[in-house]
Structure 1
Amino acid sequence: MAMFSMPRWVGVVTAAESAGFLIPVAGFAISGIAGFPPGWTWLFMVACGAGEGALLGFGQAMALRGTVWQVPTSKWVPATAVGAMPAWSLGMAPSSLIDLGVDIDFGDPLIWMVIGAGAVVLLVSIPSAQYVVLRGRLPGAWQWIPVNVAAWAAGLVFTFVPGPFVDESTPGAVMAGAFVLAGICMAATVAVVTGLWWRSRPVLAEPALQT
């Protein structure tokens, strides 16, 4: 079995998540052009999020393939896709509710408690689903959850950067380029942080995680 390769992990995972992020980006464009009602837009984006998760999971599995820590692709990819669905459903909830005409009082502390709880669930959804695959197979597998929470919390910041600089008057190509660049930065951040965790795993004389 080969040793874990940080450059391989960062390169493959960044590429996979960047490509996956294009699915929701395209989903936003399609829903806007097609004029989907808010409820259907929400469902459509959750499905797009599952596609993003599947590509991320596939990239991670490929980056670990052949190493002592390789994961079962047939379980890892669906787990990642399923984990991405609640993340996107919660992430889309505020804007979808507003589009439906729901009056959200952001001055109410209870609203912020709900948002905070939702943010926690959003951040833990993917690594928790992946943990189901890792547990019992990898020493210290529980650490994968807080490591990913930190990685995604840092990475998602980049997706908010273009917002203040684009509006309806921004050329489509410029807007798309801005969000694609933000997606790549997000993907690279997540890849580096999670890769550092994999690199720190002790190499034990155990069978690899079979695919």
Structure 2
Amino acid sequence: MTQPLSARPFHLRWTLTVTAAEAAGFLAPAVVGAATADLPWYGALPALLAAGAVEGAVLGWAQAAVLRRALPALRGTRWVMLTAVAAVVAYLLGTAIGLGATGPGWAAIVVAAVCGPLLLLSIGGAQWLELRHHVARAATWIPATAVAWLLALAAFLLLATPLWHEGQRVGVSVAIGAGAGVVMAFVQAVLTGWWLLRLLSQGRRPRRRQPVPTG
């Protein structure tokens, strides 16, 4: 069953823990992205997907660590695995969007229109598979995390894009990405924590009654 929780301490714990974990986990794709910038996409992709798995696993572990205080029955290992797989899918979709942008205008629009929403929904959709067993209205976690990641990625791009330039040293590129990654991590942590608190305040999802044998 869900445990009583105080809103402000829970949100603060979630925000600090998840921000730190996502910022740390994002260092993996930041380093890989800078180190493989001169490689063709198919040469960089395996390393990028592996780095995405690391980022997702670290993020999922931190989220589960906080969430299990309120939902002791949450399967932490499953939550971590789902988040890691979703992160890999998100990076794969992001690569597809990047490749589409190099093609004809209509292709870029079509690829972005298809892959963009799927990318934003990937983390929340994967985590819903576990969360639905523990809270009511768990499906709202999917669009809520999508909005959180949309705003977080927008913050990242607004900060990092003007500072990145061709010919930069790898260390400089990584530092820019890491700094913008902290802001990205904070934005998504604050917003997802706020919505998660709303879900937890509504209590656990009632279990279905098992049919009573007759005869």
Q: Residue 46 of structure 1 aligns with which residue?
A: 49
1:204 correspondence with 2:214:
no
Which segments of structure 1 move beyond 6 Å, counting only runs of 4 or more? none
Among 172, 182, 185, which residue is 1:184 paired with? 182
Relative distance call for 1:89 and 1:205 in structure 2 (3 A) is: closer
Aligned length, in residue pairs? 199
Deviations 1:137-186 (A, max 9, x none): 21110010010011000000122122123212445444332211110111
1:105 correspondence with 2:104:
yes
- The CA distance in 1 between the partners of 2:54 and 2:34, in whole Å, is 16
For 1:27-38, what aligned pairs fall within 5 Å after superposition?
27-32=32-37, 36-38=39-41
1:11 correspondence with 2:13:
no
Q: Residue 80 of structure 2 aligns with which residue?
A: 77
For structure 2, the residue ranges without an aligned partner over 5 or more in a row are 207-215
Q: Secondary structure at the match of 1:156?
A: helix
Q: Residue 124 of structure 2 aligns with which residue?
A: 127
- Identity score, percent: 33
- What is the TM-score when the length of structure 1 is the normalising length? 0.84
1:158 correspondence with 2:155:
yes
State which structure, 1 or 2, has the greater radius of gyration over its C-alpha atoms.
2
For structure 1, the residue ranges without an aligned partner over 5 or more in a row are none
- What is the TM-score when the length of structure 2 is the normalising length? 0.83
> Which amino acid is the alignment partner of residue 179 of structure 1?
G
1:21 correspondence with 2:20:
no
Shift in Å, 1:124: 0.6
Shift in Å, 1:64: 1.6
Shift in Å, 1:113: 2.5
Q: Secondary structure at the match of 2:36?
A: helix
- The CA distance in 2 between the partners of 1:205 and 1:170, in whole Å, is 51
Please tell me whether the aligned partners of residues 49 and 91 of structure 2 are also in contact (alpha carbons under 8 angstroms). yes
